[in-house]
Structure 1
Amino acid sequence: MGVKETESEVTLSFKESEVRVLKFGATVLSWKVKGQEQLWLSDKAILDGSKAVRGGIPLVFPVFGKATEGPCAKLPQHGFARNHSWELLGQVQESPLKVQFALSPDQLSQEARDQWPSDFTLIYTLTLDSDSLTTEMSVENPGQSAFGFNVLFHTYFRIPSVDSVKVNGLGKVPVHDKVSVSKYQADGEPVTISSEVDRVYSEIADSNKIEILNGDKVDVDIERTNLPDVVVWNPWIEKANGLGDFYPKDGYKTMICVETGSVSSPVNLEPGSSWVGRQVLKAHL
């Protein structure tokens, strides 16, 4: 039980659960409950800090996707939080185990500062319980001017089979389908995967519990606070083949991304203000 730190990683252990975090991107690489891995990590994920990690829980901030205009237009896809090293602030609670990481402009490359000059502080809190992992992001604006941002937990879940996976609880909400390049209203039925899927489900009430099922069995449920959008992503065959760090190439059969965030429109943060969003992932073994 407790926290172990190396130069590049932090390991959290609590009862029968364990989490590994790469300081680069504050990326959760692994979450095990009773020895069973809950997250998918590519066998060819780059862990040396040269690029964002393919798998685990990459952090998306301050932009989701690639902005074509506005203050985030110069930033790379999904922003800079996932490709800079974060500071481990330390353990702040023993039971359940809670640790915090921080990122501020001082830790950014000059290139990133030039691309997005806003003043900010990110505090990322991980809480590990016996069967759950809570990820919480606090965004603070200590500067003199307001800024807008997106934030998202880009969680890759390990699943038994894409043929039997279902995502339930999204509701009859607006959908932006990036594969068919269309917008429509979801029918509220569980989402299944039989081809490439890349969709943003929006305006989902906090009260909606999201469930990832294998057949009729719930494997993981997700509770959200202040995160109205959920992205469902699976690259399928062609896209997986085109991603150099996605391996094995048939890995799409054992993963699904169910990503909670606030990405449909920017969150506006006034000087001196803060914003907090969190998700609670609970494993059902």
Structure 2
Amino acid sequence: MVERANKPKPPTLAATPGLPPQPTVTFSDDNSRVTAVLPTGESVEVLLYGATVISWKDAAGDEKLWVSEAARLDGSKPVRGGIPLVFPVFGPPPSQAEHPQTAGLSQHGFARSSRWEFLGKSTSESLMGPGKGATDHGAVKLDFGLSSGSEGLDPQARAHWPFKFNLIYSVLLSRESLTTSIVATNDDDKPWDCHVLMHTYLRVKDINKVEITGLDKASYIDKVDGAKTKTEESGKLTITGETDRVYSPVDGPVCVVENGETTYSVTRDNLSNVVVWNPWADKAAGMGDFAPKDGYKNMLCIEPGSVSTWQSVEAGDAFEGAQTITIHQ
């Protein structure tokens, strides 16, 4: 699914002379983030801390992700907003008795609190094949790496998750979509378990006018109602209060509909769950890094992942999963 790209040599990766306009990839002055821009204007920005996507804009410059105004982007704590990557545990860690492998970790694991290495870029010609890439130049892929030997690995991981692993995380920007994918390889001599989730904060205009489709008849765990298992009876789910549900939908896209028009569709590859989350007013008020406090009206988390059960990865094997978010305009 994911190519392992070589490390780039120059700090700024420019287009090859003589070719039509190509996507550009640049680094911030402090080397804390990477930005890719298509010739048509679409862009994505990734913070190396957590390999967190913190911006995704269409050709008109309209932001598609919600990031809290109080989010820290200096590497001091995980980012509230964008697309944080959850691995190897989702939510608060279980007890030692429930799952000793992850009991000592912090909420949502260490992928979002480690500094990743930028491995390189691929552009349209290599992604789309001869001919097509040479004419539309409509995609760029950024690869990031984190392993048990990485200097940027959260110290907590070394102390509490002493397994050998290698993660490759890829962010693929095209004119109408954004794909994030992960390959988690077990380099140890024994199996380990993991959760994987892409905690995507989509920007919406008014949560009160949003409907979610693609979840009809799906079973879900309602974390707001004592983790009861329920079945979604509505073909169009609306958000009217604090919502925290882990769905196990059938194959097919989950769509966000605003004022009767589909604005996003989210498809999954080898990810069995979709978490739908919105903190609503009271919970947002109690989160120190959530701002503005009424920001819940302009965000909706649609989070593809595999978190309802543990994914057991045998020695030498790998778990792969991906999401694609498509913009409908």
Q: TM-score, normalised by structure 2?
A: 0.84
Q: Which amino acid aligns with 1:184?
A: K
Aligned counterpart, 2:296:
252
> Counting strand residues as a fraction of each chain, which structure ranks higher?
1
**What is the correspondence of 1:97-108 to structure 2 with a 5 Å cutoff?**
97-107=140-150, 108=153
Q: Which is higher, the Rg of structure 1 or of structure 2?
A: 2
Which runs of 4 or more aligned residues in structure 1 lie more than 4 Å from their structure 2 counterparts after TM superposition? Answer: none
Aligned counterpart, 2:56:
31
Within the candidate set 219, 233, 236, 2:277 is matched to: 233
8 Å Cα contact 1:173/1:188 also seen in 2: no
Aligned length: 283
Aligned counterpart, 1:43:
69
Q: Distance in 1 between matches of 2:173 and 2:117?
A: 19
1:8 partnered with 2:8: no
Aligned counterpart, 1:72:
102
Q: Distance in 2 between matches of 1:16 and 1:64?
A: 35
8 Å Cα contact 1:169/1:188 also seen in 2: no
Cα deviation code 1:232-273 (max 9, x no counterpart): 000001100000010000000110101000000011100111
1:160 partnered with 2:205: yes
8 Å Cα contact 2:273/2:307 also seen in 1: yes
8 Å Cα contact 1:120/1:143 also seen in 2: yes
Q: Distance in 1 between matches of 2:140 and 2:243?
A: 35
Segments of 5+ residues of structure 1 without an aligned counterpart are none
1:22 partnered with 2:47: yes
Q: Distance in 1 between matches of 2:155 and 2:115?
A: 14
1:55 partnered with 2:49: no
Q: Distance in 1 between matches of 2:64 and 2:256?
A: 11
8 Å Cα contact 2:105/2:156 also seen in 1: no
Aligned counterpart, 2:10:
none
Aligned counterpart, 1:187:
233
Q: Distance in 2 between matches of 1:43 and 1:136?
A: 26
Q: Distance in 1 between matches of 2:236 and 2:181?
A: 26
Q: Which amino acid aligns with 1:196?
A: E
Identity of aligned residues (%): 44
Q: Which amino acid aligns with 2:27?
A: E
8 Å Cα contact 1:104/1:122 also seen in 2: yes
Within the candidate set 117, 139, 150, 1:87 is matched to: 117
Q: Distance in 2 between matches of 1:240 and 1:220?
A: 24
8 Å Cα contact 1:177/1:200 also seen in 2: yes
Q: Which amino acid aligns with 2:264?
A: V
Q: Which amino acid aligns with 2:326?
A: K
Cα deviation code 1:84-118 (max 9, x no counterpart): 10000011334421110001112323332111111
Segments of 5+ residues of structure 2 without an aligned counterpart are 1-22, 125-136
8 Å Cα contact 1:22/1:28 also seen in 2: yes
1:238 aligned counterpart, secondary structure: helix
Q: Distance in 1 between matches of 2:216 and 2:103?
A: 32
Within the candidate set 193, 201, 211, 1:148 is matched to: 193
Aligned counterpart, 1:119:
164
Q: Distance in 2 between matches of 1:110 and 1:76?
A: 11
8 Å Cα contact 1:167/1:213 also seen in 2: yes
| Shift in Å, 1:188 | 4.5
1:148 aligned counterpart, secondary structure: strand
8 Å Cα contact 1:2/1:13 also seen in 2: yes
1:271 aligned counterpart, secondary structure: coil
